[in-house]
Structure 1
Amino acid sequence: MPPLVHASRNTTDSAPTDSGPTDSAPTEDAAPSATRRRRDVSGPLRRVGLRLLALGVLLGAWQTVVVLELWPPVLVPSPADVVDALVRTSTENDGVRGYQGHYLIEHLGVSLRRIAVGALIGVGVGLALGLVMGTLGWVRVVVEPWVAFLRTLPPLAYFSLLVIWFGIDESPKIWLLAIAAMPPVAVATAAATASAPVSLVEAAQAIGAGRRQVIRSVVLPAALPEILTGVRLAVGIAYSSVVAAETVNGLPGIGGMVRDAQRYNQSDVVILGLFAIGLSGLLIDSGLRLLERRLAPWRGHI
């Protein structure tokens, strides 16, 4: 009898010992998971906080310069003056719509349309030219110096010639933006196509793939991330060239608005136009980066 009692006590006492690790396992697994979730949330919040802090420091420094009157207000307007210019150019005042008969959003919309058309033409030509340069060596030898020549020219250097050729309407503006956008895409496409992984190309050829199939199924997917980077650069260059494109008959247009305001020393309108160009450019670049992640999720894995 005593041995049975002793055995039963051992069984009862050992039960919690056996079940203890089993019950604590989910708790140990859940702790790192909760920590990771907090880290995933705190990361974006920290970045947003740092950006807002940097913006606050910039505005504070700007306001300090204005208060100390280091430069005349006509040269460095206050943030409040720029906000007032935003209201003036976005509303109707004394029967005048916005700035020179067009609202700020209309000026920006016209410039965005010009950039979209010019960049689309430049990107299309650059893709086709870069693909040929990357797959045919002799074409690259002949064409690459001319592409590099165009890439080094500032837009204003050939805009006057475009005005002589095409007049002062929309054509020279579109041509200028297209020429500015083409070289980055052509260079990026040619370099990415020529440096496609040799092992993948040889594997495709070993299973009977033809030249077109290799280009379509191996070369282009491998080159797509670099091509999309070239597209981002091209759109950025076209956007930065919009002020040059709108120096002649640029109203309506955000670049034309900036140039016209500069003639009359309206620095608040000039700064407002620069902010409009910069912020809209950031939004467009963010959209292109998102598109890049969607179209080429394998970037860095080939």
Structure 2
Amino acid sequence: MSATLDRGAAARAQSTPSQPLSRRAARRRWSATVGLPLLSLLVFLGAWQLAASSGLWSEVFVPRPSTVWAAAVDASTTHDGVRGYQGYLLWEHLYMTLRRVAAGVVIGVLGGVVLGLAMGTVGWLRRILEPWLTFLRALPPLAYLFLLVIWLGIDEAPKIALLALAALPPTAVATTTAVLGAPITLVEAARAVGANRFQVIRDVVLPAALPETLTGIRLAVGIAYSSVVAAELFNGIPGVGGMVKDASNYNNTPVVLVGIFAIGLSGLTIDALLRVVERRAVPWRGTH
């Protein structure tokens, strides 16, 4: 009887600390996911305010955070008869930019996946195309933007083409590497049971290549997004890149910073959404 009581007391002693431990784990998780990013934001804003208030730099070069906030409000509303910036509200600029990025990324990613699958499964095609992909990856967007403008004009076509060309190489390279890394034992097993080339690619190669391909797509979206200001250098209004370019012509630093923050925050949101898609599509990644 006493032994049973002792065991029960020991069990209770071991189980009671679990609740505080779980609460501490939740607090640590909250601190890592919310607290630290919030703290870094506050430190950044504080350092920015100190730099702007120090008088070491002109307001033209380092405007105060409140000035940038006022510029963001002005760009998002109609004030004194002026609608947003250059006749468009901030969300309209951002919408046009996101629409161009989406069109370019879809074209570039689809082309990159198809090209990567072909290069990963056909050796002679890979040897022919790989140097050209490397050449394209090495070129900054501005290097071929002007050529695209000469060929396609200054409307939407050169912008979308530039973003597609920025997104294609990382997707193609990641897909090629993933296809080449597909487990040879599974490929041989599928062939042994009578699967044809298409079935092997569909049922074995594609699932094995999906994690690396999704990583390549995330990289492609980031590279395309970082090229959006270059894509909108010509006739880019409405568009955040065009807004930044136009504001820089007049040394309007607050509006330039508003555009930079809009691009950066929307880019973070898109990357977070892609991470969610990646976790849902390949839940086994990182588990073994």
Q: What TM bracket, shorter-length normalisation?
A: over 0.9
Among 207, 220, 232, the residue aligned to 1:221: 207
Provide Cα deviations, 1:247-297, integer angstroms capped at 9, x if missing partner: 000000000000000001100000111000000000000000110010011
Kindly tell me: are residues 31 and 153 of structure 1, through their superposed partners in 2, closer, same or farther at Cα, counting changes over 3 Å?
Answer: same
Q: What is aligned with 2:52?
A: 66
Kindly tell me: are residues 106 and 131 of structure 1, through their superposed partners in 2, closer, same or farther at Cα, counting changes over 3 Å?
Answer: same
> What 5-or-longer segments of structure 2 have no aligned partner?
none
Q: What is aligned with 1:42?
A: 28
> Offset of 1:300 from its aligned partner?
3.8
Structure 1: distance between partners of 2:181 and 2:280? 22
Deviates more, 1:223-232 or 1:15-24: 15-24
Q: What is aligned with 1:140?
A: 126
Structure 2: distance between partners of 1:61 and 1:211? 59
Higher Cα Rg, which structure: 1
**How much is the aligned-residue C-alpha RMSD, in angstroms?**
1.6
Q: What is aligned with 1:5?
A: none
Q: What is aligned with 1:125?
A: 111
Q: What is aligned with 1:91?
A: 77
Among 58, 65, 78, the residue aligned to 2:64: 78
Give the share of equivalent positions with the same residue, in percent.
58
Q: What is aligned with 1:201?
A: 187
Calculate the TM-score normalised by the size of structure 1: 0.91
The one-letter amino acid paired with 1:295 is: A
Q: What is aligned with 2:237?
A: 251
The one-letter amino acid paired with 2:121 is: T
Q: What is aligned with 1:288?
A: 274
Provide Cα deviations, 1:78-107, integer angstroms capped at 9, x if missing partner: 101000101111111221110000001110
Matched, 1:266 2:252: yes
Structure 2: distance between partners of 1:134 and 1:30? 56
Q: What is aligned with 1:172?
A: 158
Secondary structure of the residue aligned to 1:165 is: helix
Structure 2: distance between partners of 1:25 and 1:134? 57
Q: What is aligned with 1:6?
A: none
The one-letter amino acid paired with 1:51 is: P
Q: What is aligned with 1:105?
A: 91
Structure 1: distance between partners of 2:169 and 2:195? 31
Structure 2: distance between partners of 1:26 and 1:194? 55
> Offset of 1:200 from its aligned partner?
2.0
> Offset of 1:55 from its aligned partner?
1.1
Structure 2: distance between partners of 1:275 and 1:301? 35
Kindly tell me: are residues 33 and 214 of structure 1, through their superposed partners in 2, closer, same or farther at Cα, counting changes over 3 Å?
Answer: farther
Kindly tell me: are residues 29 and 189 of structure 1, through their superposed partners in 2, closer, same or farther at Cα, counting changes over 3 Å?
Answer: same
Q: What is aligned with 1:233?
A: 219
Secondary structure of the residue aligned to 2:235 is: coil
Calculate the TM-score normalised by the size of structure 2: 0.95
Structure 1: distance between partners of 2:245 and 2:85? 12
> What 5-or-longer segments of structure 1 have no aligned partner?
1-14
Structure 2: distance between partners of 1:100 and 1:153? 32
How many residue pairs get aligned? The number is 288
The one-letter amino acid paired with 2:202 is: R
Q: What is aligned with 1:10?
A: none
Kindly report structure 1 stretches of 4+ aligned residues shifted beyond 6 Å: none
The one-letter amino acid paired with 2:169 is: P
Secondary structure of the residue aligned to 1:100 is: coil
Matched, 1:154 2:137: no
Provide Cα deviations, 1:62-89, integer angstroms capped at 9, x if missing partner: 1111111111111111101000101111
Matched, 1:181 2:167: yes
The one-letter amino acid paired with 1:208 is: G
Deviates more, 1:197-206 or 1:233-242: 197-206
Among 53, 58, 63, the residue aligned to 2:39: 53
Structure 2: distance between partners of 1:221 and 1:52? 38
